[in-house]
Amino acid sequence: MTVRFGGFKAVDDLDLDVDAGKLTALIGPNGAGKTTFFNAVSGLIRPNEGCVRLNGHDITGARPYQITAAGMLRSFQIARGFPRLTVFEHLMLYDQHNPGENIVTALFGGWRKREGETAERALGVARRLEIDHVLDNRVTEISGGQKKLLEIGRGLMAEPDLLLLDEPVAGVNPTLAEQIGDRLRDLVAGGLTILLIEHDMALVGRIADHVIVMAEGKQLATGRFEEVRNDTNVQNAYLGG
Ligand code: ADP
């Protein structure tokens, strides 16, 4: 895949595969093109060349809701807009991001039934992430780590096969980062595929099955964390050499 901004190739003929049922970490120095790649994969921008395939389907240029329906979800930071809502309500809100679906269910009278199903799902997601004890707390009352888990939980409400995460432990302390890492491993053990961008190398070393290193829009190295860490090209890229 290639993504250009004017004459500049932010993603330069990059060809990546993500193994199903594994946790893959995308790392690389600032400006490597990681975010641009995520934006192209998740449908926010269209690649200039190449395509995105998910479960055998070509989803290049598809709308974000179509991509979600195909089984991929990108988790975003929780908007600051709803400080009065509880953790449970934030999980329930997920459905309101699919207005098309809500109109259909409303038309066919299935709304109440669906609301019950969504509540069940919210409870299940909260249990898997071990945030079920704060379901009734407002988001302003939970810790930074719990907020990160809630962001992941919002993504899981769509029951994706592949979850894309942007720096899931950014800004949380090392102990909480470890706990979040453990929950991510639990999700992968349960069959989820995860692709994450992460700068915290301790976390990547602990939880990633597979690491892809990007630099200047290209893939620089790939393999297990120990392998890529010892790669001279990778060390030079991080040192700006
Ligand atoms: P990373 O996430 O690895 O830090 P980015 O994907 O954010 O890297 O950026 C890759 C390169 O593309 C950078 O040089 C950045 O300045 C450039 N870039 C990103 N978005 C745009 C844009 N909308 N317009 C022009 N250049 C951009």
Task: Give the model confidence (pLDDT) of 188-234 as tens digits.
Answer: 999 999 999 999 999 999 999 999 999 999 999 999 999 999 999 99
In a domain, 123, yes or no: yes
Residue bearing the bigger pLDDT, 110 or 235: 235
**Is residue 39's pLDDT more than 60?**
yes
| Domain-embedded: residue 109 | yes
Q: How many folded domains does the chain comprise?
A: 1
Which residue has the CA at smallest separation from atom 13 of ligand 1? Answer: 31
Interface pTM, i.e. ipTM: 0.98
From 4, 11, 36, give the residue whose CB has the most ligand 1 atoms within 8 Å, as the site to mutate: 36
Distance 218 CA to ligand 1 centre (A): 13
Mean per-residue pLDDT of the chain: 89
Q: How far is the CA of 175 from the centre of ligand 1 (A)?
A: 31
Query: What would the pLDDT profile of 45-54 be if each residue is shown by its tens digit?
Result: 999 999 999 9
Regarding predicted confidence, which is higher, 81 or 42? 42
pLDDT score of 101 more than 60: no
- Full domain range(s) for residue 153: 80-159
Task: Flag whether 75 is in a domain.
Answer: no
Query: Does residue 136 sit within a domain?
Result: yes
In a domain, 57, yes or no: no
Q: What is the pTM of this model?
A: 0.90
216 domain-assigned: no
Residue 96 lies in a domain: yes
- The answer to whether position 111 is within a domain reads yes
Residue 96: per-residue pLDDT: 47
User: DSSP labels for the chain?
Assistant: -BEEETTEEEE-S------TTSEEEEE-STTSSHHHHHHHHTTSS--SB---EETTEE-TT--HHHHHHHTEEEE-PPPTT-TTSBHHHHHHGGGGG-HHHHHHHHHTT-HHHHHHHHHHHHHHHHHHTT-GGGTTSBGGGS-HHHHHHHHHHHHHTT--SEEEEE-TTTTS-HHHHHHHHHHHHHHHHTT-EEEEE---HHHHHHH-SEEEEEETTEEEEEE-HHHHHT-HHHHHHHHT-
Q: Which residues line ligand 1 at a C-beta cut-off of 6 Å?
A: 5, 10, 28, 30-36
**Once rounded to an integer, what is the mean pLDDT over residues 70-80?**
81
Question: What ligand 1 atom has the least distance to the C-alpha of 32?
Answer: 3
